[in-house]
């Protein structure tokens, strides 16, 4: 399942980057149809437009929509380092503990001055 999702994401990102190449490829494959049916200058063959005006408009439209999509996205600032102070932890602990919990009643600790040394072999 993860492989399928990752392949779909990679392909979608790849297709997004190749929009211009796709438009040019479609134009080249359908050049005869575009020049005879869609071209603005099809009645003036001396210009030798051959549908390049349609290609130019579609590339401009794709670039405009890509630019608008990039400007619409909101920027999210994520801090590089999260700093947590002892005061924050104490306040959070006090707020999270309402009354005596079993963990607070059974909590004990021992302060030892003994320095740990690994066992000798």
Tens digit of each residue's pLDDT (9 = 90 or more) over 37-95: 888 888 888 888 888 888 999 999 988 888 887 666 666 777 777 776 666 666 666 66
- Banded model confidence at residue 104, pLDDT cuts 50, 70, 90: low
Assigned domain for 83 exists: no
Number of continuous H segments (helices) and E segments (strands) in the chain? 6, 0
Number of domains in the chain: 1
Assigned domain for 109 exists: no
pTM: 0.48
Domain hosting 64: range is: 9-72
Measure Cα distances from 25 to 29, 31, 44 in Å. 6, 10, 25
Residue 30 buriedness (CB in 10 A; 0-12 / 13-18 / 19+):
middle
């Amino acid at each position: 399942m993860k492989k399928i999702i990752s392949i779909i994401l990679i392909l979608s990102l790849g297709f997004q980057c190749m929009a211009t190449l796709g438009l040019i490829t479609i134009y080249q494959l359908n050049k005869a149809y575009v020049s005879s049916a869609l071209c603005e200058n099809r009645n003036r063959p001396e210009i030798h437009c051959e549908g390049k005006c349609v290609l130019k408009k579609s590339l401009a439209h794709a670039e405009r929509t890509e630019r608008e999509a990039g400007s619409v996205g909101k920027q999210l600032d994520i801090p590089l380092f999260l700093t947590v102070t002892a005061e924050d932890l104490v306040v959070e602990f006090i707020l999270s503990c309402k009354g005596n919990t079993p963990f607070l009643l059974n909590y004990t600790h021992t302060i030892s001055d003994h320095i740990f040394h690994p066992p000798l072999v």
